[in-house]
Amino acid sequence: MKVCVTEKPSVARDIARLLGANDRHDGYFEGNGYQVTWTFGHLCELKEPNDYTDQWKRWSLGQLPMIPQRFGIKLKDDKGIEQQFKVIEHLIAGAEEVINCGDAGQEGELIQRWVYQKAGCDKPVKRLWISSLTDESIRKGFRELKGAQEFDNLYYAGLSRAIGDWILGMNATRLYTLKYSQSRNVLSVGRVQTPTLAMIVARQREIDNFVPENFWELKTKYRGVTFNSTRGRFKTEGEASEIVQQIKQLPLEVTSVETKKGKEAPPRLFDLTSLQVECNKKFGMSADDALKTIQSLYEKKATTYPRVDTTYLSDDIYPQVPDIMRAMAPYANLTAPVLALAKLPKSKKVFDNSKVTDHHAIIPTNVNPATVNMTPEEKRVYHLVAVRFIAAFYPDCEFNTTTVMAQVGEYGFKATGKEILKPGWRDLYNKPSDRAGEEIDSKEKADDEDNGVMPHFEKGESGPHEPAVLKRTTQPPKPYTEGTLLRAMETAGKTVDDEELRDAMKENGIGRPSTRAAIIETLFKRRYIRKERKSLAPTLAGIQLIDTIHEPLLKSASLTGLWEKKLREIERGEYSAAQFIDELKKMITEIVLNVLRDNNSGSIAVEQSKPAKPKAPAAAGGGEKPKKQRSPRVKKYEDITCPVCGKGHLMKGNNAFGCSEFRNGCHTVLPFDQYPADLTPAKLSSMVKKNFKKNKKTE
């Protein structure tokens, strides 16, 4: 009997149906020589510290760093999981061969390998490796099963990632919590989440410290076209105005007219990150919601495997394209021009085997979307993927760019205009609702002085013009949104607009496409960041945590990106997993020693929800006056309401007490030289009441 182990019951049902395993049992299907069972995602996990020794049960600085001699795995503590594992264990014990049908990726490989290890599997294992869950893809995958050993490096990379996260996360979290946390609230520190938080804090600092500066631009209008001074910005209005006085009576003379033809290729196909960015930009979807939506479309067989970091297709997809387009019935009017071609275009910007490893870019499958039961969110995301896929086979957009140079007296001016000759793929995005998104918008906005289509100019012509001075102000950097943060994680904090350069930098990005959404969610749950409309902002606790961490390897995006690069090299067999783990062990040992040498302690307070104020009892009309209620005892700084805004509560910082509403405009600061850091919450409350009462009397 051959035993197939999938990652979800829904996938097991599809595979069982195709294999003829139609008899349903408790936890598996059987028939035609196959037994098909499933996990529920992760059945196993790395052991907790207290599973290794009783000494690690209690959080103690003296027990750090915690580094097990040998890392072990255990079943998750869940009755349903335990029951399903027993089914898998029993089936594997009686199998002649095991077929790993888990998700075709690093995490999917790790999930399956741990289950086989825990079940004591000593049977030959084959691997089903597919990029979509359509019937055709599954049948082809079973005809071309691979040896499990081909994916050993993928497993080693996943295992190294899990162990590395354990070493850093378990030790650093206990270390910083015990050393710096007020009231022993847990300070979560992680290999990827902490440098991500550091990027958000750094951006907020840039915004807070930004000093706007005024500047002036000199422009003139000639024949309805705006010309800009070639001298650029002016630091003073007077300097620009003086030139206006000199040139306003002089004619403008055209000195050169240059027209260049250009082409714009269709936007790249989607990888997971670019799809999440687009969903956030167009629909305001969180990275996590976008991932769940595209994962659901994959499981419904509408789109291909989503957890990918390439925007290319492999050559073997090329002959399948016509069938995929023919299946996209609702898009027949858009696919018709492509299907009518004698030969389908094959661009190196779309098909490149060297840019595809495990999986290709996200595209539709050969399943008619009209037959798939989609939610409104799934329909929107499918539409993005579908139109992007069709656009890849449309002609380039062709345009003319005209540059006109002019002279007024001794001062030079320049005007540019762009005329689209053949829209090509842009025809697909002619509706405002169908804009291709960030990649396209950025190209259109590349030059805010573009005049569009300009009238015909002749060299040597001249005439009157209307000069003017325009005042402008420098703008601070924009706060991160989830979309722009995903891009920053992908490029280790560097701002990269060029697609080719972005591809090259993915190797050093932090996190993986499949884990970045979860990292952002973790920062929300830990109350290190919060959302202000679409923007992300750090909380006081998040800022203080980053200020307290002095170890570059814990908060540097670029250094963390180097660790990520090593994990990718392990996956390719170019780096030793054992060496990677040894380096992390040495690193955490150094971090523990450095933190223990720090004389500061107890300075970070994680925001808690504000306690509800007790209601005063209502006095009966004309009756006896009720007794005055005794104020509740102040046990925490968070119990003290801000004496200025009355909305927030006090929090302890590095140098002063502040208000939890500081991000919303409350600037209350109680410096430690006036309100000592070692004051108990009750004493601080008393001082605040006394001092601010005096202030009110003197106002």
| Nearest partner of 617 among 630, 626, 604, 608, judged by Cα | 626
Look at residue 558 and tell me whether its pLDDT is greater than 80.
no
E runs forming strands in 247-311: 252-264
Query: How far, in Å, CA of 307 to CA of 514, rounded?
Result: 5
Q: Which phi and psi (to 5°) does residue 119 adopt?
A: -85, 0
pLDDT digits (tens, 9 = 90+) for 598-647: 877 656 666 554 433 333 333 333 333 333 444 566 777 878 888 887 77
Flag whether pLDDT at 184 surpasses 90.
no
Helices 516-525 + 482-490 axis angle, to 10:
120
Closest CA to 306 of 326, 328, 332, 288: 288
Which tokens sit at 430? Answer: 């002619």
Q: At how many degrees (to 10) do helices 287-299 and 376-391 cross?
A: 80
Query: Does the pLDDT of residue 432 top 60, yes or no?
Result: no
Instruction: Kindly report the length of the chain.
Output: 699
Active site residues: 305
**Predicted local distance difference test score (pLDDT) of residue 42:** 87
Identify the pLDDT of residue 286: 92
pLDDT band at 653 (very low <50, low <70, confident <90, very high): confident
Average pLDDT along the chain: 87
Beta carbons of 293 and 378 less than 8 angstroms apart: yes
Closest CA to 179 of 556, 551, 527: 551
Write out pLDDT tens, residues 346-357: 999 999 988 887
pLDDT of 277 strictly over 90: yes
Is the model more confident about 545 or about 691? 545
Here the tokens at position 61 are 């600085």
Question: What is the number of other CB atoms lying within 10 angstroms of the CB of residue 292?
Answer: 16
d(CA 589, CA 67) in angstroms, rounded, equals: 9
> 457 is written with which tokens?
């100019």
d(CA 369, CA 327): 8
- In the three-class reduction of DSSP (H, G, I as helix; E, B as strand; rest coil), residue 671 is classed as strand
For the chain, domains (ranges, CATH) are 2-144 (3.40.50.140), 172-209+484-597 (1.10.460.10), 214-266+397-473 (2.70.20.10), 272-391 (1.10.290.10), 637-698 (no CATH)
Would you give the end-to-end CA distance of the chain in angstroms?
87
Partnered with residue 234 across adjacent β-strands are: 216
For 63, other C-beta atoms within 10 Å of its C-beta total 15
Residue 479 DSSP label: P
How confident is the model over 567-591, as pLDDT tens digits?
889 999 999 999 999 999 999 999 9
DSSP summary character for residue 349: T
Quote the radius of gyration of the chain (alpha carbons, Å). Answer: 31
Which H or E run contains 659?
strand 656-659
